[in-house]
Amino acid sequence: MKAVIIDDEKKARNLLRVLIEENCPQIGEIMEAEDLPSGIKLINQIQPNIVFLDIEMPGFSGIQLLDFFDPKHINFEIIFTTAYSEYAINAFKLNAIDYLLKPLRDDQVANAVAKVEQQIGKSNLNERLEELKATLSASNVKKIGLPVADGILFVKFDDIIMLKADRMYTHVHTINNGKILVSKPMKFFEDILQELREFYRPHRSYLINLKHIKQYVNQDGGYIIMDNEETVSISREKKDEFFEVMQSV
């Protein structure tokens, strides 16, 4: 595989090159650029599989990469390098965009490369970057990107009825797309959705959208019926909190 590193800091480029060479033997050719325009030229010249892109550089933001390519010709994956805030990191997660958080670590690089290697040619990178751009520029994020077998499926928060844990996987129940199996643990979604008042975890195995509660049944210890007729357990210690949350929604 071939890779291009685009970063205005020479030390950052050198460090990333060393980490790639030492931890990613599948990448045989690495080229570097100090700004986005020269990076665009490199991408056109060598047709890389992966682009490591600093999201914030003098003159251009990494997200502006979209402005230089026809969406049909984007046949590579991007791994952003960033020292951004937790909010921006959440935006990457929401849109299924891979990133390396500075200061860089070898395990970070190896894991990110292995992950995007599985996505090359399968996902609509243009759509994901457009969603990322919208997320970073708006406070009212309305969608989440779900990694699926053939790419990334963007689902509106309001379309999510509930999530159910299945070991290291999660079943995401939606209105318009049915049940989707995602290879992420429940903790991943809880971290992303924790700021949204409509999502609540009544039990360690479930994360529910309070807007889609159909009924509370006061039998067998108490349980919830969702709009899709799925039943959700409530932990004994969560019952009082659940009713308080429901009153505040």
User: Measured in Å, how far apart are the chain's first and last C-alpha atoms?
Assistant: 50
Pick 81 or 17 by higher pLDDT: 17
Contacts for 192 with CB less than 8 Å, ≥ 6 apart: 90, 93, 94, 144
> Is residue 100 situated within a structural domain?
yes
The CATH number given to whatever domain includes residue 168 is: 2.40.50.1020
Q: Residue 91: how many CA atoms within 13 Å on its side-chain side?
A: 22
Q: Is 53 exposed, middle or buried (0-12, 13-18, 19+ CB in 10 A)?
A: buried
Same domain for 113 and 165, yes or no, is: no
Decide: residue 188, CB within 10 A, 0-12 exposed, 13-18 middle, 19+ buried.
middle
| Together in a domain, 173 and 133 | no
Q: Which of 41-45, 130-134, 194-198 has the highest mean pLDDT?
A: 41-45
Domain range holding 103? Answer: 2-137
- Identify whether residues 172 and 205 lie together within a single domain: yes
Q: Which residue, 137, 166, 198, sits at the end of a domain? A: 137
Asked whether the predicted pLDDT for residue 246 surpasses 90, the reply is no
Of the pLDDT bands very low, low, confident and very high (cuts 50, 70, 90), residue 125 is confident
Total tally of structural domains belonging to the chain: 2
Query: In this structure, are 195 and 131 located in the same domain?
Result: no
Is residue 128 one of the residues assigned to a domain?
yes
Q: Are residues 113 and 190 in the same domain?
A: no
Q: Look at 235 and 128; give whichever has higher pLDDT.
A: 235
Q: What is the average per-residue pLDDT within 2-13?
A: 93
Q: Rounded CA gap, 116 and 131, in Å? A: 18
Kindly state whether residues 186 and 75 are assigned to the same domain.
Answer: no
Average pLDDT over residues 54-70: 75
Residue that finishes a domain, picked among 106, 137, 168: 137
Tokens of 109: 């690089």
For residue 152, is it within any domain? no
| Contact of 212 with 162, CB cutoff 8 Å | yes
pLDDT at 31 over 60: yes
Specify the higher pLDDT residue, 195 or 183.
183
Non-local CB neighbours of 228 within 8 Å, separated by 6+ positions: 161, 162, 173, 175, 212
Confidence (pTM): 0.58
Residues 187 and 127 both lie in one domain: no
State the CATH number of the domain containing residue 22: 3.40.50.2300
User: Band of the pLDDT at 193, cuts 50, 70, 90?
Assistant: confident
Query: What's the average model confidence in pLDDT over 46-51?
Result: 94
Query: Is residue 227 assigned to a domain?
Result: yes
